[in-house]
Each structure stands twice: as structure tokens, then as C-alpha cells.
Amino acid sequence: MKKQYEDTDLDISLKKLNADLLWKTKKKQKLKKRIISDIEKLESRERSKIPLLSTSIKKVSLIRKITYSGIALIILLGLFIGSAFISPAMAEVVSKVSFINQIVQSLKETDDRKGKLDALYDEISKKLNENKEYKGKVEVGMSWLFSSEPPSFTVWVEDEDFKQEHGDEIKDIIFKCAKSYKIDEVEIVLEVRDKVEPSEKNIELEKLTDEILTITQEVVEEKGYTILASGVTTNPKKVSVKVGIEGTEQHYKEVKNQIEKHVHDVIYAKKHEKFEVEVKRESEDEIKGQNWQPIFTAVMEETHKKFKETNGFAYSFHPKPLEIILKTSLSKGEETEEQAERIEEYARQVVEVKRKELSVEAIPYKIIIRDKDHKKLYEKLHN
């Protein structure tokens, strides 16, 4: 059974406001009924009188107008008093809704920015590969720690002569592409590729490794399972495979033994090599880590966008509860501790917005803010 998500502060505030509104509405209804009853009594008394002169009729009419005006004033006053009671709760809800809307908008802008950076990288790669002079002589890579910061492009070229001759051209291509995507600032590094010629032995080992991995993949897929990660070592001869196996521990052990034996036998039959085979499945923490990874990325990105002091991120599922660690350039002091509290609260809201968006099960977690010396500035547990 899935765990029910707990109400956030916003949910609680909305419920409280709703209850307050209902209570005050009922109170106003009673006041309104009582006032109407008083009006009816006044009118009844007026109707029981015999209007002898037109002047007396005018007086009654005047009294009625004054009475209605007074009642309207009382109702208006009641509304003002009611709104005075409601406004603090309303202000709190409006503030939180606005705060969360800002985070949602910021998350969307971050996604758009990442999409733009990916498209820019594809465009630059295409431009460089289409150039006949560069073909086979140029490779490009893009990296960033925070997507809100300028992206960094590293271009590896064939040799120093090529770098001297074409370096400025390559930079110009990258700058023009970036400008077309409205990215004004980029970092460009040109490096000469290391020329390392592999030995025949290394070529043979690489070929054997590829063949072993291909055999392993075919056997696992024939069994109806998916390889999540794999690796081969030749000294000692060992194949390590992580397979998506669901079910009980007993079922996992049965499948594990079958795959290990089958992979071992097929490798020996085809390559006449005896490889130890080890099959594992994802741990509970690894599954949680995959589910929470987009949340971690969002926290890292959004806190840095909002607070430039945030410059690093880490997390740990052990020991429990989950620890979300934000590293900063802050020093110890009263003002920086207050800033650390603000960073923590913002990070918490990002966690909750993203967690609900992805329908990730709620678990207890602690947000820790560290200073520039990696010492704990502030922490808060959320159950």
C-alpha cells in the first residue's frame, strides 16, 4: 500500500482559512437574520399605525430610510471586522501560493534553459562536423555545474599546428551559435589531443571485453531481463552485471543463480574462456536514489539560482533519514545563520514542489547547510 502524502504547511493553511471562512459566514448569516427580523418588526409596527396626515407618512418613510441606512452600515462594519479577522490567514496563504508559483516558474525556466543548452551543443557539433577541414580532427564537449551559469565548451584538436591555424575560427563558430540561441556568455577551451597508440595486447583485450559484454547482454535479454549496468575485468576474469530483477529475495536468488550459470556457460562455449559471473540487483537505496535524482538536481539548481552563496551539493541515504546537504561560501555569524535558514526553507519548498510533481513517496529527510569550511551552519528535519 502506498503511503499517503502528508499535508504541507500550505495545505494546512488552506484548511484553516476554509474553516475560518465557514465559521465567519455562519456568524454573519445569524447577524443578517436577526437584523431582517428587527426590520420586519419595525414595519409591522408601522403598518399597525393609522396614517392621519401625509406629514406622518413622510416621517415614517424617513425613519425607514434611516433604519435601512443604519442596518447597511452595521452589515458593512461587520464585513470590515470579518475581513480584519480573515486577512492574516488570507495573507499567509496568498504569500505561500505566490512563493510556490515562483518556484514552479523557476523550475520551468531551468528546464527551458537546459533544453536550449542541449540544442546549442547539437548545433555546434553539427557545424564542426560539417566542416571538411575539421572532419576527424575536432571533438567538442560541453559541461556545466549549474545550468544558470555560462556553459563551458572544450574542443580537442589534432595537434598544436591545427590549434594555431583554426582556433579562432572554431571559437567564432561557437560564439555565433551561442548568440543565435540568445546565450551571451560561454567559456571555450581548446586542447590538443594526447596521441596514445594502443598496443596490440590492449586492442585484443578491448575486443574480448566487447564480445563478453555482448554475450552477457544477449543471455540476460533472452531470460526476459534488462541489464542496468555491466563491467568486465580480465585480471581476474570477471563479469559483473546489475539486472532489473523484481520480486522476493528468494525469487531474486533463483534468477541470479540461473543467469550466472547461463552466462558463464555461453562465454566458455563461444570463447573458451572461464569468467566468474556476478549478478546483482538494485538496492533499495539505489531505487530511492533514482526516484529522488530529479529532486536533488532541482534543489541544487534552484538554490544556486536564488542564492549565489550555494556552490555545492551532496546527499546520503545512510544513516537514515535522508540527508540533503547544501554547501555554501558563507562564514559563521548571526547574519549568515539567518541566510542559511532562508536557504534551507527555499530548498524544502523546492523538494516538496518537485516531489509532488513526480508523485515520489514522502520520506523523512534532513536539510543541512554547510559553511565555506564545510562545517554545519544550520539543519532542519522534515518528517
For residue range 275-324, what is the model confidence (pLDDT) as tens digits? 999 999 999 889 999 999 999 999 999 999 999 999 999 999 988 999 99
Task: Clarify whether residues 215 and 272 are in a common domain.
Answer: yes
Residue 121, in any domain of the structure:
no
CATH number of the domain at 262, please.
Answer: 3.30.300.20
Residue 301, in any domain of the structure:
yes
Task: Clarify whether residues 272 and 291 are in a common domain.
Answer: no
Residue 231, in any domain of the structure:
yes
Task: Clarify whether residues 135 and 99 are in a common domain.
Answer: no
Choice between 187 and 336, residue whose per-residue pLDDT is larger: 187
Task: Clarify whether residues 270 and 336 are in a common domain.
Answer: no
Is pLDDT at 367 greater than 60 in this prediction? yes
Task: Clarify whether residues 295 and 262 are in a common domain.
Answer: no
Residue with grid cell 437574520, as numbered in its chain = 33
pLDDT cut 70: percent of the chain above it: 75
Q: Rounded distance, CA 367 to CA 313, Å?
A: 11
Task: Clarify whether residues 218 and 300 are in a common domain.
Answer: no
Number of compact structural domains in the chain: 4
Q: Rounded distance, CA 334 to CA 312, Å?
A: 22
Task: Clarify whether residues 97 and 23 are in a common domain.
Answer: yes
Q: How many Cα atoms within 13 Å fall on the side-chain side of residue 31?
A: 16
Task: Clarify whether residues 291 and 321 are in a common domain.
Answer: yes
CATH number of the domain at 352, please.
Answer: 3.30.70
pLDDT cut 90: percent of the chain above it: 68
Choice between 62 and 133, residue whose per-residue pLDDT is larger: 133
Could you tell me the residue range of the domain that residue 324 belongs to? 286-382
Q: Which of 167, 165, 183 is nearest to 175 (CA)?
A: 183
Is residue 241 within a helix (H) or strand (E), and if so which, with residue range?
strand 237-243
Task: Clarify whether residues 294 and 307 are in a common domain.
Answer: yes
What amino acid is encoded at 150 in this protein? P
Mean pLDDT of the chain: 84
Task: Clarify whether residues 292 and 376 are in a common domain.
Answer: yes
Task: Clarify whether residues 270 and 296 are in a common domain.
Answer: no
Choice between 195 and 73, residue whose per-residue pLDDT is larger: 195
Residue 4, in any domain of the structure:
no
Q: Which of 140, 133, 195 is nearest to 165 (CA)?
A: 133
Task: Clarify whether residues 301 and 351 are in a common domain.
Answer: yes
Position 19 scores a pLDDT of 47
